Structures are given as C-alpha cells and as structure tokens.
Amino acid sequence: MNSPARSALVVGAGIGGLTAAAALRRAGLEVVLCERGSTLRAAGFGLSLQSNAMNALRTLGTGIDEDLLRAGERARSASYRRPDGSVMRRVDVAPMEALLGAPAVVLARPDLHEVLLSHCGPDLRVESGAEVRGFTETADAVAVELADGRTLAADVLIGADGINSTIRARLHGAQPPRSGEFVCWLALARFDHPVVEPGESVQYWGTGQRFGISDLGDGRIYWWGTLTTTAELAAAWPHDKADLLARFTGWAPEIAEIISGTPEADILALPAQDRPPLPEWGRGRVTLLGDAAHPMLPSLGQGANAAIEDAIVLAHALATHDDAETALRGYEHRRIARMTMFVDESRKLGHLEQTVDPEVVAARDRYMSEPGEEGGRTRMLEPMTWPGLGDPEGGGTLPRPLSPLERWHWTVDRVAPLHIVSRLRVDGDLTAEAVRTGLAALVRRHPMLHAVVHSDEGRDPCFVPIAAQPIPLREATSGDWTAEIDTELRERFAAGAPPLRATLVTVAPGIHDLILTSVYTIADAVTILSFARQVLEFAAAGTTGWVPEIPALPGPEALLPSEFRGAEGKRRALERLRADAQRDGSRHPVRLAADAEVAPAQRFTRSVRRVVTGADYEALLAACQEHGVTPRSLVAAALARAAAADTGAPQAHHTIGVSVLFREHLERPLDDLRTGAYQAMLGLPIPAGPSLWAVAAEFERDFAARVADRAHLAGLAGIEFLVPETPDRAGEVIERLDAHGPGNLCLTYLDTREFPDRVGEWRISGAEFASGMSISGMTMLAVGIGSDALSLNLGYIEGLLTAERAGNLSAAVTTALRNGLPATETAAP
C-alpha cells in the first residue's frame, strides 16, 4: 500500500537516533525513540562536529547550530606534531570555515546529547529499557518486538542502534565487526595549558601511536590516544592507566600531565572497528542510519557527522515523498555512495596514521612538514562538504568555483549593480505574511538562495553555503511599481545577504504588484519569474515545512553540449567567433554615442516602460503570424529603426546584442525550476533603411540560423578571456566594451503567454521583467510577450544616456511598431 509516513520508530538514542528524532518531528512525524538502556546517557568523551554536520543541522531551522556553538568551542586551528611536541604543520581553520560556509565545533558528547534532546521537544516519547529482539512488517506498518514482551508499531522503522545493530543483523545477517587493529583511549579532563590555544586541536604522531588534545573551552579538553595492536587485544584491552603512561614515556611532557590528571575510571578503552560497506541498507519500511548502516574507523573524524547527515536526509525524504517505502529507498540512494567513500577513506587514512613501517612514517612526516598541501586539503574538504538534500547526481554541491560566465556576471555586479527584476500583478487578498511564507519555502527549495560568493580579495570566487536567512521584503503603498523598479535596479545587495529580495506594492485594496530582484550571477529572466510564481504557489499552499530541494547545478558551461567543452571545443568556438566578427564588421555598424563619461562604479540603471495592449497588440501578433516572423524579430527591427533616429544614420546597420536563453540548448535541457543564468549574447548588425517587415524577416532568418548553428554558445568560449583577475582590474575590459562591446544596444526577450493566470485564489497578470546593464553596456530592452500585452522595459545607464534621450529611444520603438501595423488603432505611448 502506497502511503506517506506519519510515524516512526527510532531504535537507538545515540547521536544519530536523537538527530533523527529531532528531524523527523520537525518534518511532522510522530516519533517513538527506543533505547535499550535505562536512561538516555552519553559516554564521557568528546568529538568534533564539522561543517557538513553544522550545515545539515541548519536545515532544521531551529537554531540548533547556534546552541551547539554555545555548548562547545568553535574550532580555530589544528596542529600536527612529532612525539616530542615539535610542530610539523599548523592549520588555521578560518579559511576552510569560510569556504565550507559553517564552523566546526568541538564539544563533549554529553553536551551534544543534551542539545539534541532539547531540540526533540519536551513531549518526545522515549521508551527506555526497550531492547529490540526483532521486527515484523505488514503492508502499511512495521512493528518491533521488545525483550520484555512489549510490541511497538509505526509506519517506518529506523535502525540507529550502533555498530552492533540488531536491526542490521535482522536485515543482513549477524557478522562480527572488522578490526582496524588499533585501540583507542578516550576521556574528558580539566587542562588549562598554553600548549593548547583556544579552539585548537593538537595531534602528536608517532610510530603506531598517536595522541590528541582538543580544547572544549573553560579549561576543559577532550583527549584521545591510539596504539596499533592486534584485533584481539584492541577488542579487550587488559592494561591499566600505568601501562598507558608508560607507552607515552618520552613524548611531550603535557601528555603525561593530562593522563596523570585524569581519573582512571574516566578513561575509556575501545577497539577501532568498522564494517565493510553495504550495497543496500534496508527493505520495505525499514532502513538503517549512522553506525548501524556504515560504522567507520575514527580517522576521518566523520562518524557522528555522517549520522547527523543521515538523519537530516532521511527526515527530508520522508517529509517530501507521498510513499514511505519510496522515501526510504530515495534516502538510501542519496547516502550509500557518500558513506561508502567515508568508510573506505577512513580505513585508508587509519592505516597511514597507525603505520609501524619506519619508511612510511618518515615519508608521512615529511609530507606533513612541507608547506603547500593544497592537494590533500582539497581531498579533505570533500567529507566536510554538506552535499545537500537533493539528488546526488545533481552535480553542483556547494562550495564550488564560479564558472567563467558566472564569474563575469559577479565581476560586473561588483563594479556596478547588474540586477534582474520581475513583476507580477496579483488580484486578491495577498498579505505580506503570505509572501514571507512563500519566500521562506523558496529558500528551502533552492540552495543558491542560501549561498554567497566568497573570494580572496576578488580572486578565485566560489559559491559557499550559508545559514538560510529570511528574504528581505519591503512593503510599498505608493501604487507605482515602476518607481520601485528603478530602486531595485540601483540598490546593491549587502555583503553576505541572500541574492534575492522582494517588494510588495499595494496598488489598491485587493490589487498588488509583487516584485522580485536578484543578480545575474544566479538568475536570468526565466529564473526570476519562476521564483515569483513559486513564491505565490508556496504562499497559496501555506507551505511551512520541508520542501523537495532542487540541487544547485554546476556552472552553465559544464552543461553545454560536448562539442563546446574541452580545449578543442573552445578552440573551434573561438574560430567561429572570429569568423562571425569579421563578417559582421564588414557592414560597418553604427553605435550609439554616450552623452557623457560616467565612472564605472557610478553606472546605475534606470528604466523606461512602454506597453502595447488591446487591439494594437492583437494586430501586432496577427501581423507577425502573417509575415512569418516572431514578435522578437519585429521589435529588433523597430529597435534598429529607433537607433537610426537617435544616431542620425537611417541607412546604416546598427548592432543589437540579442540575449539568447539557452536552457533548451544544453546537453540536458533544464526547466524553469533550475536556478541559474542561462543567457548568452549574439551581436547582429541590423539595417534600419528597408521596410520594418523586411528587416524583421531578415533578422528572423539570420537569428534562427545563428541559433541553429549554436553561435550563442560559441560566444561563451570567449568569456573567460574577458574576465579580469579581480573586479578592481576591470578598467581595460570596460574601455574595450565601451568601444566595441555588444552591450551598446541590447534586447532580451521572454514569452510569458504560458504563465499561469491563477494561483490559488489569486488572479495573476502582467508578468514582466526588467534588466540592469552595469559596465557591460549602455541599454537593454527587456521584451515580454504576454497573454494580453507587449511590455517594453528599456534599461539604460543613467548619464551615458540622458533620461530624455532614453525616453525618445523607447518611444521611437513603439512608434516604429505602430507604423508597421495594418490596423488603424495605435499603440499606447
């Protein structure tokens, strides 16, 4: 029977089980937590929660990450030392934290349990003394049998009962754990000593032995030691504290001080063990989590973090699928490959760390002592990177470097604002609170809306995740949404702020304009209007819980057809660009002249709006159909005619840079739910002298041929040669664009006739967009082909064009369109 999960049995109250309980309750499920012990109690040692776990916990939206930082000590540095205490390498954690988007925190395990339990809610049902003996499934439920004879049932069963999991044994058969062939000592202690700086973790590496100290704050530390030994000795270590002290004789003196100051009863001796990865975890309504699914050696330090990731992904899957079994298999699909990597890498690293081979030890220590460990650093970042909640095949896990096209948009926006704006008219009772609900759900759906660009003073920009923040919403009662557009095109986004903001304009009672603004680094016209539609859909549904996450994608260039990728693809594309440029240059196109010089950082966009409606619009569409051209071609011809009037060159060609939205031209076409800017420029010289319809027909043929030949995609190959090293070195590029760039006179086009006219109880109309220009050009005519109107929003750089001249240019476009119509009625001014 296909049905969603509304209840869950979680077996095991360790880190994974408690996180699962908190996350499942956040997802709206009833949870019963089963613990075989008489109380919920954590062992007395410490651990480190890395950025991946902290980013995962942030998705709960409960502030748990902040509570954990208060309970522990934020990681600030790590040092690797020889047994005598001399430093081989010291690592500042801050750059890694900035790149991964979240801090790491070191804390005592009991403190972690307390925080997790507090976020499960005071009414969490806990069954203690609940030793599970087995389980049985029916078509729509699963039940566990307890040792005391009780039976508990729920829609799904989650085995989070550790490395010796009963649930795992029932699913896959009982097998002994696999030895790592070393023993671990673990303890918490008081130790306030200058050898350990605030927030520092120290590791001493010897031959077959290691010792570690991590600062927990307030004079507390977590310490551990390891020793390579046989599997049998590791599993049942027979020696006492005196023996432990003897084994670290001759090591740095602080080690003996720490061991001596720790009561023997507080020192745990545990074997390092794991299990071979499973190709599948569960079946039916049962699955595994944490050490029950993938126990690993401690070398990566990811055991607890992996369990937390599991719990968050599991809860999200159950919250966003209508069928419990499908949700569990989807959860496993998202986790198994990553967890297999964790288990395998932990074992490989453990062998290296615990080696007793003198030559390997010497090579290892030489590597640790040498500067410039970028290769190893990159490899170590992968486990600490939160992969998100979407399909792992999405391919755009954050952090990731900006692609050349994204980097160009970001660079331009850093010099002067380069924004994209959408507007929807909403008839009905739309409140600001409803819009905020929709915006919050939108953020949960799209990882790029809780990401920012991090760079090294402008170099090597990367998208990095941040904690989700509310999207700013302004409320305006002026009723004039066009005035708000000018504000949105000009006003920069604050550093560290979400790359989206909203304005709700109340035109009259029951009539509103919803305006969204983003940056071209993550959004084009398709994206920004899709965002607006999704906000209203979420608002209409009152969505407050988890929504299916749509993963971030790689940069647009990585999605291009194979012929445009790689060195050979780029070479062919550049040759095509040169041939097109030579052919187009032979027509000696005329450019618009600037009215004044404007410093790059002072180039702000203003907008002039015209609209064609009613009978004129119907006549325009009919005439386009009769002449076999699209409205875009007719507007391009009208824009060339308007440019001729402006330049006084009525017989010349005028180059118009036409933006081509290329989602459908990728290796795998993308729908409008995918965040990103998939827009490339084609510069076409257009004659102004012939009749409007003749020019439109010529443009139609030329444009269609170039798009069919993928000339717009070839143009992307040159972007990386255009991008300066840093935004503050863009001067030469700006001069080149001012003199020869395709942004002198631009047009971008979107057909919105398929946009929904109703969402919930609201009637939707007037789907339009406006585009900024920044340093990339002078004008951009944003053309919207709607169900009942043609919108023409001319964005122009204030100063490069006067307001009067921009108004004349915009009016000349509508005049040219009007004069080309067979109907006697005229277009609106």
pLDDT tens per residue, range 590-616:
999 999 999 999 999 999 999 999 999
- pLDDT-derived band of residue 376, with 50, 70 and 90 as boundaries? very low
The top-level CATH class assigned to 559-820 is alpha beta
Distances (CA, A) of 213 to 161, 182, 222, 357, 737: 28, 18, 6, 25, 57
Residues in contact with 149: Cβ distance below 8 Å, sequence separation at least 6, in sequence order: none
Per-residue pLDDT, averaged over 691-718, amounts to: 91
Per-residue pLDDT, averaged over 349-376, amounts to: 85
Structure tokens of 124? 């969490």
pLDDT tens per residue, range 679-695:
999 999 999 888 999 99
Residues in contact with 499: Cβ distance below 8 Å, sequence separation at least 6, in sequence order: 448, 449, 451, 452, 493, 518, 519, 521, 522, 523
Structure tokens of 700? 């139609």
Residues in contact with 320: Cβ distance below 8 Å, sequence separation at least 6, in sequence order: 327, 546, 547, 548
Name the average pLDDT for the chain.
Answer: 93
- C-alpha 387/C-alpha 274 separation (Å) is 23
pLDDT at 386 over 90: yes
The superfamily (CATH) of domain 394-541 is Chloramphenicol acetyltransferase-like domain (3.30.559.10)
Strand 473-476 and strand 142-146: pairing? unpaired
SS3 for 128-156 is: ECCCEEEEEECCCCEEEEECCCCEEEECE
- Residue 695 half-sphere exposure, CB side, CA atoms within 13 Å? 27
Structure tokens of 57? 């916990």
Out of 276-280, 708-712, 798-802, 820-824, which region has the weakest mean confidence (pLDDT)? 820-824
Q: Are 791 and 752 in contact (CB under 8 A)?
A: no
pLDDT at 772 over 60: yes
Neighbours of 19 (CB within 10 A): 32
Given this model, what pLDDT does residue 39 score? 80
Enumerate the β-bridge partners of residue 81: 87, 204
Phi, psi of 783 (to 5 degrees): -110, 125
Whole-number percent of the chain with pLDDT over 70: 98
SS3 for 165-176 is: CHHHHHHHCCCC
The superfamily (CATH) of domain 7-384 is FAD/NAD(P)-binding domain (3.50.50.60)
Give, to the nearest 10 degrees, the angle between helix 51-58 and helix 303-320. 30
Given this model, what pLDDT does residue 390 score? 82
Given this model, what pLDDT does residue 812 score? 96
- pLDDT-derived band of residue 394, with 50, 70 and 90 as boundaries? low
- Computed on alpha carbons and rounded to an integer, the radius of gyration of the chain in Å comes to 31
pTM of the entire predicted model: 0.93
**End-to-end alpha-carbon separation of the chain, Å?**
61
pLDDT at 378 over 70: no
pLDDT at 395 over 80: no
Per-residue pLDDT, averaged over 120-124, amounts to: 95
Strand 511-519 and strand 500-508: pairing? antiparallel
DSSP secondary-structure letter at 776? G
Q: One fold for both 7-384 and 559-820?
A: no
Per-residue pLDDT, averaged over 360-385, amounts to: 78
Given this model, what pLDDT does residue 815 score? 94
Given this model, what pLDDT does residue 105 score? 97
Q: Are 259 and 178 in contact (CB under 8 A)?
A: no
Q: How far is CA 525 from the centre of its chain?
A: 20
Structure tokens of 263? 């009561």
Residues in contact with 704: Cβ distance below 8 Å, sequence separation at least 6, in sequence order: none
pLDDT tens per residue, range 522-561:
999 999 999 999 999 999 999 999 999 999 999 999 999 9
Closest Cα to residue 16, out of 296, 245, 211? Answer: 296
Q: What are the structural domain ranges in the chain?
A: 7-384, 394-541, 559-820
- pLDDT-derived band of residue 477, with 50, 70 and 90 as boundaries? confident
Given this model, what pLDDT does residue 1 score? 53
pLDDT tens per residue, range 227-247:
999 999 999 999 999 999 999
Given this model, what pLDDT does residue 624 score? 95
Per-residue pLDDT, averaged over 234-262, amounts to: 96
Per-residue pLDDT, averaged over 124-130, amounts to: 94
- pLDDT-derived band of residue 480, with 50, 70 and 90 as boundaries? confident
Q: Tell me the three state secondary structure of residue 669.
A: coil
pLDDT at 778 over 90: yes
pLDDT at 498 over 50: yes
Structure tokens of 814? 């509508």
Distances (CA, A) of 277 to 20, 25, 573, 776, 796: 21, 29, 45, 52, 59
Residue type, 148: D
pLDDT tens per residue, range 731-748:
999 998 888 887 789 999
Structure tokens of 805? 């001249």
Q: Tell me the three state secondary structure of residue 793.
A: strand
- C-alpha 88/C-alpha 103 separation (Å) is 24
Given this model, what pLDDT does residue 43 score? 76
- pLDDT-derived band of residue 576, with 50, 70 and 90 as boundaries? confident
Strand 77-81 and strand 200-205: pairing? parallel
pLDDT at 826 over 70: no
- pLDDT-derived band of residue 116, with 50, 70 and 90 as boundaries? very high
pLDDT at 263 over 50: yes
DSSP secondary-structure letter at 208? S
Structure tokens of 603? 């180039």
pLDDT tens per residue, range 642-655:
999 999 998 899 99
- C-alpha 544/C-alpha 549 separation (Å) is 14
Q: What is the DSSP string of 66-77?
A: HHHHHHSEE--E
pLDDT at 64 over 50: yes
Given this model, what pLDDT does residue 579 score? 81
Given this model, what pLDDT does residue 37 score? 87
pLDDT tens per residue, range 334-343:
999 999 999 9
